[in-house]
Structure 1
Amino acid sequence: MHFNADDFDQLLREHAALLRAHGEAQARCSEVIRAQATEIARLDAQAMRLRMELVKRETALAWAREDRAALEQLVPGLPKRAVQARQVEALQARVRELSDELHRRDVRQAFAPARASHVEELEGLEEDLAAADLVICQTGCMSHGAYWRVQDHCKRTGKACVLVENADALHIVRIQRAGEGQGAALVASQQG
């Protein structure tokens, strides 16, 4: 085979193009290798940090287990007491819930309409309260619900309402209506 000068020049140009493409491919491969080496170094450092954290946690857990075992040996029945303490806390929470529910029920009953068996009594109470100039309530002589209804009536109507612990302590109560003297006056004296 015989090569002429033009064939040789074309062969040189193709060889140069192949060398350039090979050099660019080598540069890209080198960049990828550097990027991978950087990522591997980052992941190695992260793995080392995680291993150190794991060793710290396992060591702390082992110490805690040893401390707990030593404490359990010092205090017999500690695990059972811990369970009982959690049960007591749960029971206390339940008692608080029930107490709150009972309080809400008492409040609802105090302000709820009267039941049929007490309708006549309450109607009479409302009539007596409406006719009274002053309402005197003795503690311990009326139900909790009746006390709240009387207080509600006094607030709604603006009536004077006095709460006494001992009725014997109140000796005289006299109300003078306007026109019977100088304005309305309340006079009360206590037995001594």
Structure 2
Amino acid sequence: MRTRAQVVIGDTRLALAREALAELAAAAPGLPTRARLARKVEWLGERVQDLMRELLRLQWLASPSIASLPALQADLLARVREKAVLYVSNYLAHEPGQGAGGANVAQQAIEQAGGRFLHHAGGDDGVDDVAALEASLVAADLVICQTGCVSHDAYWRVHDHCKRTGKQCVLVDQPHAMHFVRKEALAT
């Protein structure tokens, strides 16, 4: 008799759980499909980022200007005299082991050439970060963006701002050596 009662209680709980599951499924139709698509979108975003980095690397390797890299750097430094130069990179000088060399090298070179160095961390830190990036972009005469270590949002904001305003944008691949991937005057 007790065993039968336990079986009836177990069956009742199972039936109630199935009803609750059916109600939840009815309340959110297509949830499994949306979850699967969200995972796929995340994977595709990562894949796009990897492919963009590879494309930039290949463009840099195929660029005829690699041989004239010192001339490109000299030309850039000649243009920064008495100008505000924004360096967009996640690597900050006070973060040990994070490759701060790019920002330090850029700051020293810009200040030695008579320019004013501005820095933005280029991360995804929310609304305040976006507003700070926009303000920095407006204040800058020239933008240097370290492509491999800024968020997609920061990269596209820099790209869009420079294209809209005709501001010169230099894309940098490696933080420690200021290797220029390509130089763009985004005012097409």
Interval containing the TM-score (normalised by the shorter chain) = 0.3 to 0.5
TM-score (norm 1): 0.32
Kindly indicate which of the two structures has a greater share of residues assigned to helix: 1
TM-score (norm 2): 0.33
Structure showing greater Rg? 1
